[in-house]
Amino acid sequence: MINRRWLVTFSICSALLGSAEAHSHKLGRILIGHAWALPSQTSEAQVFVSLANDGDEMDELVGARSPVASLIELRTNNRYDDPPLRAMKLDPDKPLPMRPTARHLRLIGLTRSLVAGDRFPLILDFLNAGEVAIEAAVELGSAE
């Protein structure tokens, strides 16, 4: 069962990373906060989404895809010399935030520019919970 402290932490992470138009989703015991991307005129972009596991067993984000990119990597930071992650672990009752210059999804091979105000589909794939289709919003944000 979700405890109050964890819920407050997840709410704060979602509020910091999302806008007033935030959309949240739930896939089984996985809580998915507002997904957003920084604008990009290049072939790459970053996506951020807060995740949490409300269950009793660990799960993992093992992949993501979108028609706006040929590849999506799971990343821990902006360094290109660090290899992408195989998965992002979702421990029970422990939020997994994403933000610029830290953990994020890197879209590679964009099929179009991402302009503030745009939206695009994003599919997240979890080891145990399965797949969920969400929508990511392109928003101006701090590149920290």
3-state class percentages of the chain: helix first, strand second, coil last, to nearest 5: 10, 45, 45
CA atoms within 13 A on the CB side of 77: 4
Q: Going by DSSP bridges, is the β-strand pair 30-37/130-138 parallel, antiparallel, or unpaired?
A: parallel
Alpha-carbon distance of 12 to 83, in angstroms, equals 29
Candidates 10, 74, 22, 12; CA nearest to 47 is: 74
Query: What's residue 48's pLDDT?
Result: 96
| Cα end-to-end distance, the chain, whole Å | 35
Query: What's residue 142's pLDDT?
Result: 53
Query: What's residue 24's pLDDT?
Result: 76
**What pTM was computed for the model?**
0.80
Alpha-carbon distance of 105 to 139, in angstroms, equals 15
Spell out the domain ranges in the chain.
4-138
Residue 43 — left, alpha, or beta (φ > 0 → left; ψ -120 to 50 → alpha)? alpha
The CATH superfamily assigned to 4-138 is PCu(A)C copper chaperone (2.60.40.1890)
pLDDT along the chain (144 residues), means of 10: 47 43 76 95 95 94 98 86 90 92 94 96 96 95 54
Identify the three-state secondary structure at position 74: strand
